[in-house]
Structure 1
Amino acid sequence: MKKFLKITLRVVLGFIAFVALYLLAAWGLSKITVSAEPGTSKDVTIYILTNGVHTDIVVPVKNEQMDWSKELKFENTVGKDTAASFVGMGWGDKGFYLNTPTWAELKFSVAFKAAFALSTSAIHATYHKELKESSSCKKITISKEQYARLITFITKSFKTDSAGHFINIKTNANYGTADAFYEANRKYNLFYTCNTWANNALKSCGQKACLWTPADSPIFDKYK
């Protein structure tokens, strides 16, 4: 019995230590700023957008460099509205996206699988007709060369079929009439979250970002 209690105590203490170190790293590393590349032209407008938990990278639907609607087809949305000017993309755990409409409906099994990379991932794409800057929506202007790098980062995050096309997830779990889900590469975990992905997207195109963060607020703190 004593041996069992000792093992249990060690497990509990080890878990507490892990959580403490994780939170300390999340706080400390998110405070370290990766600076934006200096002296670049301002050619393409993008946005970062948060719902208070999750960060999307928002880009033009179409310009001379990329037409996202060729792969993120309007017909994959419920509304099929083609009037959007921007499309927001967020990477995350597929179970969260498809099986958790609200935080109140979050199941332990979904959270556990996500935390320990036991599930697959998805990209949630949402079309926007217009965006207004606010504390949860920040405009960033980047060069064409930087946008090319961002395009590469985002496209590599999508899983593709044998013909190289993005794979639409057929589901009724849409958040509205202007969004759709797509299969994605990599697995969500405690160290690579939806916000880590967005933070890395900003780094890929030479913009201000955190050294590392699992949360959205440290990213937006860089753009106050």
Structure 2
Amino acid sequence: MSLIIFIGLYILTAFTLSKITVPAEKSLNGDIDIYILTNGVHTDIVVPIKSRQIDWSKQVSFSNTIRPDTTASLVAFGWGDKGFYLNTPTWADLKFSVAFKAAFALSTSAIHTTFYKHLSESSSCKKIKINNEQYARLIAYIQNSFQQSANGNTINIRTNANYGDTDAFYEAKRKYSLFYTCNTWANNALKACGQRACLWTPMDKPIFDKYR
């Protein structure tokens, strides 16, 4: 009975808080294009690889992918449970132990990066314009999500669990849980750079509902 009550309260809270919109900052001269991208479950934040403020390829190197393509112009960042990322290529491969550890913050996290040459807007990909100051905050948010080595570099996870030829994994801070999911991370990234977001959400759809 207690479990049923907990699940009911969780669903009600997620539904209610995800409907509450954190409004975007009033801003002029937004000339930097970023994107939110979903695979139907998980939200990525996509940014230019190179700008006046940062060259992401110095922190998430092309060389860490299977087939480095330096002609890419965008890089997607997704945060999530390390076990999900590395041990669950499809939902059919999901093990109870992985799901249990993720739900209750019992495992570590990772950042998944993917390089793209271009993206087209669709129901699963939305473009957002932000200004330099907002982008600086987003940069800081993403950078602070990485674990760093003793010399201050990102830590690449060597694995054969890549999703394709242009992605890589890195050690990340925090732990995934029912209350801090991959979509919570992406939603907080939007808050960090002053864009429309949910008050709180563990899911991707409420985020994209704000950008219809």
TM range (shorter): over 0.9
Q: In structure 2, what is the Cα distance between the partners aligned to 1:47 and 1:194? A: 16
> Partner letter of residue 60 of structure 1?
P
Q: 1:62 aligns with which of 33, 50, 67?
A: 50
| Shift in Å, 1:40 | 3.0
Contact 2:183 2:203 in 1 (8 A): yes
Counterpart of 1:172, as a letter, is: N
Match of 2:173 among 164, 174, 185: 185
- 2:182 counterpart of 1:194: yes
Identify the residue that residue 114 of structure 1 maps to in structure 2.
Answer: 102
Query: Which residue pairs with 2:132 in the alignment?
Result: 144
Number of corresponding residues? 212
**How far 1:190 sits from its partner (Å)?**
0.3
- Cα separation, 1, equivalents of 2:70 and 2:154: 19
CA-to-aligned-CA distance 1:71-111 (integer Å, 9 cap, x gap): 10000000111110000000000000000000010000000
Structure 2 counterpart of 1:104, from 81, 88, 92: 92
When Rg is computed on C-alpha atoms for both structures, the one with the higher figure is 1
Residue 8 (structure 1) aligns with: none
Distance in 1 (CA, whole Å) between partners of 2:161 and 2:66 is 11
Q: Which residues of 2 match residues 16-55 of structure 1 at below 5 A?
A: 16-55=4-43
CA RMSD of aligned residues (A): 0.5
Moved over 2 A (4+): none
Mapped to 1, the partners of 2:211 and 2:165 lie a distance apart of: 30
Question: Structure 1 length normalisation: TM-score?
Answer: 0.94
Would you tell me which structure has more helix in proportion to its own residues?
1
**Equivalent residue number for residue 130 of structure 1:** 118
**Percent identity at matched positions?**
70
Q: Is the 8 A contact 2:27 2:131 kept in 1?
A: no
C-alpha deviation, 1:205, in angstroms: 0.2
Alpha-carbon distance between aligned partners in 2 of 1:39 and 1:87, rounded to the nearest angstrom: 24
